[in-house]
A and B are shown apart, each in its own frame.
Chain A
Amino acid sequence: MKLLLIEDDLELAKSLVERFREQGYVTDHVSDGTTGLREGLRGDYSAIIVDRMLPGMDGLELVRALRHERSTPVIYLTTMGGIDDRVQGLEAGGDDYLVKPFAFAELLARIRVMTRRTAQVSPKLSAGFIEMDLVQRTVVREGRPIVLTPQEFRLLEYMLRNADRLVTRKMLLESVWDIHFDPHTSIVESHLSRLRTKLNSGFEVDAIQTVRSVGYRLLASN
């Protein structure tokens, strides 16, 4: 997998390139918008990480221009944590948005989710022995039906779509509850512990793996 990092903060870029390398990604780094767009259009990248404010060409403009020709997944890195900035970024054609400063694990998890193969359009999702019917709104584990609340259903749906990938607390808050701020209580933990209890009751294997202080991973291989 090859990534393109368009970032003018050289120190941050250096550290990101290094950490991506540790994770097995090859990363090309450019530090201005114009070159970034040229590289993005020319190279065959799995994902593009772009800073919102860049010399040469602003991040939004870059993504808009890129979208005319390419559908490479794009994630913005930005200090502009404003309420509207996120909307603008996504409207310009970006796929995700991460406000600086951020934990590297968060960025990595988001890139992995972004670069998954196109989501199946089938009305059924499954991972391991868990099956979800999106039309009937039912969940079955090894033939046994599991009753979930609407919010638990959405939580499981998101985890099924990203089975075997790490999803962070923040990603869950954003995609399941549409919450873009940092709550002071353990919303994700509380819901997840209930979901886990319901999924696991009567089974030996825990379907959800907790990655301490980062997030969770739904295991498809059991």
Chain B
Amino acid sequence: MRYKPFEASDIGCLRPTRVIKSDVFRLAGLFALLFLALTGILVCTVLWIVEGAQRAAITSANDADISTILNGFRDEGLREAIEVIRQRLGSPSVRYVMRPDCYIVIQDERQQKLAGNLAALPVRLGVVTISRPDGSDRHLGSTPIVGRGIEITKGIYLFVGRDTKVLEATRERILQAFMWVVLGAFTIALAVGLYLGSRLMQRVDAIAQTCKSIAAGRLDERIPVLGRQDEWDRLAEAINEMLHRISALLENLRQVSSDVAHDLRTPLARMRNRLEEARAKSTNVSDYSAAVGTAIDDTDQLLTMFAALLRISQVEAGARLETFSTVSLSDVLENIYQMYLPVAEDCQHLITSAIEEDIYVRGDAELLTQMFSNLVENAIRHTPEHTRIHIALRRENGSIEASIADDGPGVDPGEREKVLRRFYRASSSRSMEGNGLGLALVVAITELHHAKLTLSDANPGLQVKSAFPNNWDE
């Protein structure tokens, strides 16, 4: 999908067109249509049932009239039947004032009308619908007539019917009611859609507004959480958490870039000086080769610094979390101990260990090895000869404690926090080789493992303790 940048005018105002385009509004519209369809089906069913009942009523009224006429015919013959019909339809004088509720025609075999208020009809038996009774009484309406035709005796045809005006009126009334319901429902759906749409839009706009202001550089902006514990609050919280992480990473990046810019200048300047000096003073190949040698050493040092920075930022980015597995911290530390035993000896240091067996943590063995290796190397490099270094690992109050301690000069309490920072070098170690990144990497690795790092006084000396969460022994 192509990214469409939104404009400033899109935010903060609730123009109806925006609401109409909103998802909730569309949903409300969809529901209104569904409602319409269902109501349509309902109305058709009602119409069908009502009309059926009314038709049944008409038919039974017709049948009652027919049986009255037939009774007359059976008792007294055709003349009586005609008389009954005339009485049923009312006297001519009354006829013009009060219209009869039924239509009757009786005719002979030549289709000559004998009596009734309809013109003679073509002979049709059973239930018959006459659409437009031409030539009939002028007071008759134009609605079709439903009636029954019978042959009362040879050649004498009788039709009794009633008009369907009532059917049409009912249909009209039902349809009208339906119209009102639909109109009302649509209005309500529209109103609810607009209301919900605008509410939704407000929350979305709040998020969009925050995103926009973050895009404009105000990185500490956060989406307001209304405390309703609803899905919007949850979304806002999730986004805020993400923003927090992003801004921490960005801050980190900014810090690193400025540190790098600053700390690279010194070695680069030194290297440049040396090369310039070599160009000015060197007279033979061995001078030049010595200068090139130191220049290579200088670049190696810079490259080491870059590698360390890269590693720190990779660890901080947390990409390694995916490859976490169960690591035997006991093995890691035992390995470190074995690895540094001869190194310490060569540097006139004494290294001892008290490592509990079978202690496991969730983590990355390679990083943990590097972390403890950095700590042991610091202890070896920054302490005088004959310093004792002690590597310990034990379970302690539900956590796992690994510590590297020495009885060297230690670190001033005021400097303990600072030595953990990138590029910071304690005053006592400035003269030594190093880039001030070793402990920063240790910090990054402990944080990745949710461990807590503390520097304390070992009386005398420095103790670096890392407490790992114990997820195994409960």
Contacts and interface: CB of A to CB of B under 8 A. Distances in A.
B410 to A, nearest CB: 20
Nearest to B365: A178
Contacts of A150: 338
Interface in A184-200: 184-187, 189-191, 193-194
B307 A81 contact: yes
A82 B320 CA distance: 10
B354 interface: no
Interface in B429-448: 433-434, 438
Nearest to B307: A81
A178 B367 CA distance: 11
Nearest to B293: A213
Nearest to A87: B323
Contacts of A190: 342-343, 345-346
A154 B241 CA distance: 48
B191 interface: no
A182 interface: yes
Contact of B310 (A82, A101, A149, A182): A82
B307 A185 contact: no
A102 to B, nearest CB: 10
B369 A178 contact: yes
Given A183-B373, A185-B381, A84 B346 contact: no
Contacts, number: 64
Interface in A205-221: none
A112 to B, nearest CB: 23
B366 A186 contact: no
A70 interface: no
Contact of A186 (B314, B343, B369): B343
Interface residues of B, number: 31
Interface in A71-102: 81-84, 87, 99, 101
A101 B367 CA distance: 22
A180 interface: yes
Nearest to B322: A84
Interface in B305-330: 307, 310-311, 314-315, 319-320, 323
A82 B340 contact: no
B132 to A, nearest CB: 85
Given A179-B369, A180-B366, A184-B433, A151 B343 contact: no
B339 interface: yes
A104 interface: no
A69 B74 CA distance: 111
Contacts of B345: 190
Nearest to A80: B310
Given A82-B310, A185-B377, A194 B342 contact: yes
A63 to B, nearest CB: 21
A99 B434 CA distance: 21
B338 A151 contact: yes
Nearest to A177: B339
A142 to B, nearest CB: 25
Contacts of B434: 184
A181 interface: yes
- Which bucket holds chain A's interface residue count? 20 to 34
A62 to B, nearest CB: 24
A31 B171 CA distance: 85
B342 A178 contact: no
B370 interface: yes
B314 A187 contact: no
A182 B307 contact: yes
Contacts of A151: 338-339
A71 B311 CA distance: 32
A190 B342 CA distance: 6
A2 B323 CA distance: 38
A53 to B, nearest CB: 16
Contacts of A191: 339, 342
B328 to A, nearest CB: 14
Interface in B278-315: 299, 303-304, 307, 310-311, 314-315
Nearest to B345: A190
B134 to A, nearest CB: 91
Contacts of B304: 182
A178 B339 contact: no
Interface string B84-107: 000000000000000000000000
14 contacts: A83-B314, A83-B319, A83-B366, A84-B320, A84-B323, A99-B307, A177-B335, A178-B369, A179-B373, A183-B373, A184-B438, A185-B343, A187-B340, A190-B342
Closest 10 pairs between A and B when the two form their complex, measured CB to CB: A190-B342, A190-B343, A190-B346, A185-B343, A184-B377, A185-B377, A151-B338, A194-B342, A181-B370, A191-B342
Given A186-B343, A193-B342, 9 more contacts: A83-B314, A84-B323, A101-B299, A150-B338, A181-B311, A185-B340, A185-B377, A185-B380, A190-B346
